[in-house]
Amino acid sequence: MKSIYKLLLAAAPVLLVAACGGGDDSLDDRLNIADPKVRFVHAATASPALTLYRNDVAQADATSVSYKGASQYYDVSTGTATWRVATSTGNVTVGTVPFDAGRGGKYTLVAVPDANITGAEVLFISDPYDKELTANNARVRVLHASVNAGTVDVYLTQAGVDINTVQPNFAGVAYKTANPASGANSVDFTVGSGAYNLTITATGSKTPVFLAPVTVTNNADWLLTVLPASITANDVKVLAVKANDAAATQEISNTL
């Protein structure tokens, strides 16, 4: 018993250091006690560089973000604030989102194409970080921001799996909505080999309009944003927003 007690005492400083680190996917994130975190994604096809403001204060981590770029999550103070996205040149407002940032919360603001694909609007996602202390599963969420596509089903399946034999991982995703919805946990994936196929179909169909191989790694945290590749119906591409990766975003092109 004394040996176990000494072992726990020895481990305690390590746990405290990890908890105070504050990094994404650190112990305090998993215990849901971390400072709230915010990130900004520029996925608006025709928009110039954009800047994120909190109560009209430009955010150093999300200033002059170009199309297909994103900030990583960064710590913010708790409490209600008005978040505004504006053009970096001219300070023209694209959209505003007020929300109450709570401890342990993670929040994403995404500039997406408007209905004409010539401007932009802002969508907001609250992503609880409900992950077990020892888990290494991947976390994935889909955001549908492609006005030229109707409601879609999204499959993220291990290579070799026929989508005719499985249900979509993200079913019935409507334009300008996330799946799971804002405020719900992301979908967990046990990675296995890491070789996956990302497939998009019209809801209820098994005919792909988008197909691409992707590599999913342990502890990956992805927001798969479906975007218009052109004005042609169902011509889409995907911007994968990857928390804590060296490259915050990756454009995934259709291989069909």
Mean pLDDT in order along the chain per 10 residues (256 residues)? 42 38 50 82 96 98 98 96 98 98 94 94 89 78 97 97 98 98 93 92 98 95 96 97 92 96
Domain count, the chain: 1
Number of C-beta neighbours around residue 171 at 10 A: 14
Residue 2 belongs to a domain: no
Residue 131 belongs to a domain: no
Residue 17 belongs to a domain: no
Residue 189 belongs to a domain: yes
Residue 82 belongs to a domain: no
Q: Residue 64 burial (CB < 10 Å; 0-12/13-18/19+)?
A: middle
pLDDT at position 184: 94
pLDDT at position 34: 76
Q: What is the pTM of this model?
A: 0.87
- Amino acid at site 244: N
Domain that holds residue 178: 137-256
For 65, which DSSP code? B
Contacts of residue 206, defined as CB under 8 A and 6 or more positions apart, other chains included, come to 163, 164
Residue 208 belongs to a domain: yes
pLDDT at position 33: 61
Residue 216 belongs to a domain: yes
pLDDT at position 128: 83
Residue 244 belongs to a domain: yes
CA distance 48 to 199: 30
pLDDT at position 136: 86
- Amino acid at site 151: T
pLDDT at position 253: 93
